[in-house]
Structure 1
Amino acid sequence: MTPLRVTGAWVQLLADWLDHQGLPAPRVRALLCSRRPVDAVPLTLWTELLEQALQMRPELTAQALAVGAMVAPRHLGVLGYLILASATLGEAMQAYRRYERLFYGTNLATVEIDGSHVRLCWPASASTGRLADTVAIAALVAFQRRLLGNLFVLESVSFAFAPPGHPLEGQAYEAFFACKVHFSAPETAVVLPLESLDSRLPGSDPYLRALLDSQAQVLLREAPDTGEIDRAVQQALIHCLPEGRVTLARIAIQLHLSVRSLQRRLAERKICWRQLLDQTREQLACEYLADASLSATDIAFLLGFSEQSAFNRAFRRWTGSSPECYRRRLASVPEM
């Protein structure tokens, strides 16, 4: 199965929640801000960030619901604006199914018609975990409620994860979704009245929808260029280095490749993984040192070093100079 990921636009939901709660969370924010909206974010990292952030407010009940409730079209990228421009809820659902791969890196959802109900389902094997699943389904519901108001009615919601340990949390789920919520279910599912698919969306715009549809199709066709694999790896490194756990396996996940495939493609370009890692770090270090607002400790963190002394040793090995001397030389060069 293709490793699941989300987008850089999506993880900004958490930044918005941190703002709403007035939480500084510098480490979490640094990782969130290092992602551009179009970047792929490994699901493991997204889950870790959610856990770290929500632990800062343990007194709140079912905080993941509140994170999802902050959803805006920009968090979904082109898919969000496609939904806004759709004519009906049914058309919006079709757009989600068609372009879900832009969000998760693969298509997971199915739509089932059962008598007078329609079920939007995700298999239990594709569950992204309690927090990430809750944020995703809460966001889906909040997004449609914002568009349709009282016309958006749920019959039931199901989650593959186990029920919350505290009764108040279970009650919070039912209060948020305003319907029966099932846990430990064989699939994640949202069940709606079939007639709701005909509900008209207020932002319907056929011309804009056609433009966005074309853009989404282009994005689906895009794939890493074999001849540019070194640049793709470097781009992935820029975003993974602050996590401090850069390995070939993590970069492979970021690029949606197996480790073996990535090794083969680097070998075809006669590129050594370790040399590319060092080269990328050296280039970034020189750029960061030119920014007077960044301390040596900041730069060491951005480059994935556990200690500033490790960064100092590496920089001397790369350039034959210390970071301090390099920065002083930059400062002494007159502007043209």
Structure 2
Amino acid sequence: MNDNKDWCRCEALRVLRDHPLTRGMNWKHLAQKYKFDLDALDDPEGVAPFKAWFGVFEDAAVFAGNDAMMFDIFYDIDVGTFTVFDYLFSCAPTLRESCQSWVNYIRMRNNVYLLSFHETENEGCFEWPIVEGYGAWQQNMFGRIGWAVRKFETAIGDELPPLRIELATERPVKSGPFLDKYADKMVFGQKRNAIILPAELLDRRPVGGDDNLYAILVQAAKQELETRLAENAQLSRIMDAMADSMKLGNYSLNNVAEHMNMSPRSLQRALEAEGTSFRQLSEQFRKGAAERYITETRLPMKEIAYLLGFSEISTFSRAVKTWFGASPRKLRLQT
């Protein structure tokens, strides 16, 4: 992980800065803490270190004393706040293409994670990866869910569409309008962060669908994406592969290298060029994932150990005790 190269766009931070619940925050202090330029928040092309994107969301929830407010803040923002990325979804010819447009152009928004969209016979699933190694991500994810659900509502033309929402964290202590509205459609403590919708909706034309405008937006997105990809760090692609391998339960240097069509030695050299190593990144990933799985899910310890690439439960337990000063079971009981 390289804090100087891992970035995200600044619009979401600007939304928080300007919101009534967070205006009293010391933004100069936050900029120093997370090493971002305050002026970037008002720059249409401004970016900030990815850690700032997660960290400011968590600090804002603590400041306001409300761990559920991100759902509501980002559910209520105007279409177009995230520029072309918003309009691609609302103007696409079908809801399937709406979802796929976000997958195709997420690299306009950050260089750390990708999105996925897949279909079965009965449903479509739009999924965010669980990004470890950058600090707590839960509040940021709540904001993304609130924002995305509003886009689905608008596109489908239904104020309570037949969606199912899965989140890989525990339910917030507080509540709010969004949680009250979607209470029967949200499931917490899952293995993924996803919005699932019936397959029959995927061929529906969004309410704002406009083929000509969509074609123009796609060209604009392609041009911006080409610029962003030219700046994209090798390290981010490696971290994507590491996250995918962990999710599949085959986490090792050899498997990550194979995922990237590289030799293990080439992967090691690429990491050395970024000032890190597979061992260091693995430690960050495993520690962050272990804390989340243990404290935010009810998964059996044996399954968590497997997901993190530990062949023996005893090795996993020793690692957890080293990281957190408590055994996995004690750590779970403390939360």
Provide TM-score, normalisation by structure 2: 0.57
1:139 aligns with 2:144: no
Asked if 1:130 corresponds to 2:138, the answer is yes
1:11 touches 1:75 (CA, 8 Å); kept in 2?
no
Q: Measure the CA separation in 1 of the matches of 2:273 and 2:10.
A: 26
Instruction: Tell me which amino acid in the other structure corresponds to 2:48.
Output: V
Gaps of 5+ in 2: 32-36, 232-269, 276-335
Separation (CA, whole Å) in 2 of partners of 1:196 and 1:87: 13
Match of 2:192 in 1: 187
Bigger shift: residues 121-130 or 199-208: 121-130
Alpha carbons of 1:89 and 1:79: their partners in 2 closer, same or farther (altered >3 Å)? Answer: same
1:200 is aligned to: 205
Flag the 1:179–1:17 CA change in 2: closer, same or farther, 3 A.
farther
Q: Deviations over 1:134-156 (max 9, x none)?
A: 10111100122234342762442
Q: RMSD of aligned C-alpha atoms?
A: 3.3
Q: Which of 159, 162, 178 pairs up with 2:167?
A: 159
1:22-41 correspondence runs (5 A): 23-27=23-27, 33-35=39-41, 36-41=43-48
Q: Does the 8 Å CA contact 1:17/1:70 hold for their aligned counterparts? A: no
Distance 2:127 2:229 in 1: 30
1:57 aligns with 2:59: no
Tell me if the contact between 2:16 and 2:22 (Cα under 8 Å) persists in the aligned partners.
no
> Does residue 1:94 correspond to 2:100, yes or no?
yes
**8 Å CA contact 2:54, 2:139 repeated in 1:** yes
Q: What's the offset of the Cα at 1:101?
A: 1.4
Q: Render the CA deviation track for 1:149-199: whole Å, top value 9, x for unaligned.
A: 4276244211122343x3x54x87642435332223211111111112233
Cα distance change on mapping 1:258 and 1:142 into 2, 3 Å: farther
How far, CA to CA, are the matches of 2:188 and 2:196 in structure 1? Answer: 14
1:80 aligned to 2:86? yes
> Is contact 2:128-2:192 (8 Å) kept?
yes
Match of 2:64, SS state, is: coil
Please tell me whether the aligned partners of residues 6 and 49 of structure 2 are also in contact (alpha carbons under 8 angstroms). yes
C-alpha change, 1:16 and 1:201, in structure 2 (3 Å) is farther
Aligned to 2:52: 45
Aligned residues: 226
Cα distance 1:152–1:13, how it changes in 2: closer, same or farther (>3 A)? same
> Partners of 2:214 and 2:106 in 1: how far apart?
16
Q: Please, what TM-score do these two structures have when normalized by structure 1?
A: 0.57
**Percent of aligned positions with the same letter in both sequences?**
20
CA deviations 1:98-144 (Å, max 9, x no partner) are: 11111132552222223321111233356971101110111100122
Q: How many angstroms apart in 2 are the aligned matches of 1:146 and 1:32?
A: 32
Mapping for residues 176-255 of structure 1, pairs under 5 Å: 176-223=181-228
C-alpha separation in 2, matches of 1:224 and 1:259: 21
Cα deviation, residue 53, structure 1:
2.6
For residue 225 of structure 1, report the CA deviation from its aligned partner. 7.6
Partners of 2:139 and 2:184 in 1: CA distance = 20
- In the TM superposition, residue 67 of structure 1 has moved relative to its aligned partner by 1.9
The residue aligned with 1:265 is none
CA contact (8 A) 1:100 1:106 kept: no
3-state secondary structure, aligned to 2:54 = helix
From the CA coordinates, give the structure whose radius of gyration is larger: 1
